[in-house]
A = this chain, B = another copy of it.
Amino acid sequence: MRAVTIVLLAVAGLAQSGETPKPASSNVMNAPFPAVYADGRASFRLRAPNAAKVQLQPGGSDNGLGLEPIDLTKGADGNWTVTTAPAVPGFHYYWFVVDGLQVNDPGAQTFFGWARDTSGIEIPSPGEDFYLPRDVAHGQVRQEWYLSKTTGQWRRAFVYTPPDYDKNTSARYPVLYLQHGAGENETGWSRQGRANFILDNAIAAKTAVPMIVVMDHGYATSLTPPPPTAPATAPPAAAGAPAGGGRGAGVLAPPSAFEHVVIDDLMPAIDARYRTRPDREHRAMAGLSMGSGQALQIALHNLDKFAWIGLFSGSAPGGDLATSYSGAFANGAEFSRKVHLLFMGAGSAETRVTAANDTARAGLGARGVKNVVTFTSAATSHEWQTWRRCLKEFAGKLFR
């Protein structure tokens, strides 16, 4: 984390050659700013003639734009501008702070993160296009509305169907349930994450089998008051904050309201409305940050329903593995027969998470747990480029 950050902040605003930066692909139509240079520097502009101070606040503990607020400089025309040092490739949340007020960038699309619609910028990754639309067959992302008995409310899930879904009308497909992070929602994996393009490209290259991916909203409040030890609603904490310890590492908590939604409401709806292979061998659950904790808890509670688990940037099994998680890992051979993959990924700058992943892999291995895979995303932190790469790696190992 340190090295990446220092480079970012060291040369902010450095003037270079006459290259014209390109409007970010994440901009609203026709907006010239923010704009990105070939080396990843980004120029921001906000018109605020009356403001006394304008800063750019990167939205994360280290999301690729740095850690600290970046000052913009006022021009005679009332525009405030700054060019950052080269940013880490990928998607980054940010906002402006104008005389103390948090403000979105009118030139950028907003993305749901930090529990609000927040500006985002996409920095291209030289030589890396696994998450971009290529000229291959494309699947669809479908908005699926379902009435939840658990919450009493209509909920919306996003469902990726693979390119051949509507052609091979007798084929049935395995299903990955894929969760977002804290302060995000069901739109995150297809908008910030580009999960559909990642799957399209991997399926076209035959590095992943065709599958359905279900991306639900990770917050729920039960109509029935939960027991006092099981908070029904996780607070919408900062999306950038590492998660997974919220329930206490090593503890298998009582089922959350969200788990009831997944098991009692969502999964039956998906299996009824889509041509799924509705058995544990063909069902996976994964999530990022807060979602990794949800994936682990829900999968361990329901090993009759899930055989593949993915933990992105959080929730590596910890504690005394002989007894933690109510003894889920006590018998390594038994666990290995049930779970075909326990994947733990993180960004290289998330050193605490990568260390926890390594420790978990060693500890699980010592207990005879097989099928444990760790993955480290090079030169990224607790951010979407990490999770895009995690999805690519994880999806490539599923259902084989």
Could you tell me how many residues of chain A have their Cβ less than 8 Å away from some Cβ of chain B? 44
With A101-B50, A102-B106 known as contacts, the answer to whether A145 contacts B138 (CB < 8 A) is yes
Which of the listed residues A101, A102, A154, A169 has the most CB atoms from chain B within 10 Å of its own CB? A101
Closest chain-B Cβ to A262's Cβ sits at a distance in Å of 18
**Contacting pair B142 A50 (CB below 8 A):** no
- Give residues 3-39 of A contacting B (CB, 8 Å): 28-31
**Contacting pair B117 A28 (CB below 8 A):** yes
Indicate whether A140 reaches chain B with its CB closer than 8 angstroms: yes
**Contacting pair B101 A28 (CB below 8 A):** no
Once the chains are docked, how many angstroms separate the CA of A117 from the CA of B109? 6
Once the chains are docked, how many angstroms separate the CA of A133 from the CA of B146? 10
Name which residue of chain B comes closest to A274, CB basis. B166
Residues from chain B with Cβ under 8 Å of A99 in the complex: 50-51, 99
With A109-B117, A133-B154, A143-B196 known as contacts, the answer to whether A50 contacts B185 (CB < 8 A) is no
Indicate whether A127 reaches chain B with its CB closer than 8 angstroms: no
- A101 in complex: contacting residue of B30, B98, B145, CB < 8 Å: B98
Once the chains are docked, how many angstroms separate the CA of A145 from the CA of B135? 10
Contact residues of A: prevailing secondary structure: loop
**Contacting pair A236 B29 (CB below 8 A):** yes
- A141 in complex: contacting residue of B98, B102, B142, CB < 8 Å: B142
Once the chains are docked, how many angstroms separate the CA of A261 from the CA of B107? 25
Once the chains are docked, how many angstroms separate the CA of A190 from the CA of B102? 29
- Give residues 110-129 of A contacting B (CB, 8 Å): 110, 112, 115-117
**Contacting pair B145 A28 (CB below 8 A):** no
Once the chains are docked, how many angstroms separate the CA of A398 from the CA of B250? 59
- Residue-wise, chain A 65-107 has the 8 Å CB interface mask toward B (1 for contact) of 0000000000000000000000000000000001111111011
**Contacting pair A141 B143 (CB below 8 A):** yes
Residues from chain B with Cβ under 8 Å of A28 in the complex: 112, 115-117
**Contacting pair B273 A115 (CB below 8 A):** no
Indicate whether A265 reaches chain B with its CB closer than 8 angstroms: no
**Contacting pair A116 B106 (CB below 8 A):** yes
Name which residue of chain B comes closest to A104, CB basis. B104
Indicate whether A48 reaches chain B with its CB closer than 8 angstroms: yes
Closest chain-B Cβ to A24's Cβ sits at a distance in Å of 14
- 13 extra interface residue pairs, beta carbon distance < 8 Å, beyond A103-B104, A106-B116, A133-B154: A28-B115, A29-B185, A48-B100, A98-B101, A102-B106, A109-B117, A135-B147, A140-B144, A141-B143, A142-B142, A143-B190, A145-B196, A166-B274
Q: List 9 A-B contacts (CB under 8 A).
A: A31-B116, A48-B101, A51-B99, A102-B106, A138-B145, A141-B143, A143-B190, A166-B273, A166-B274
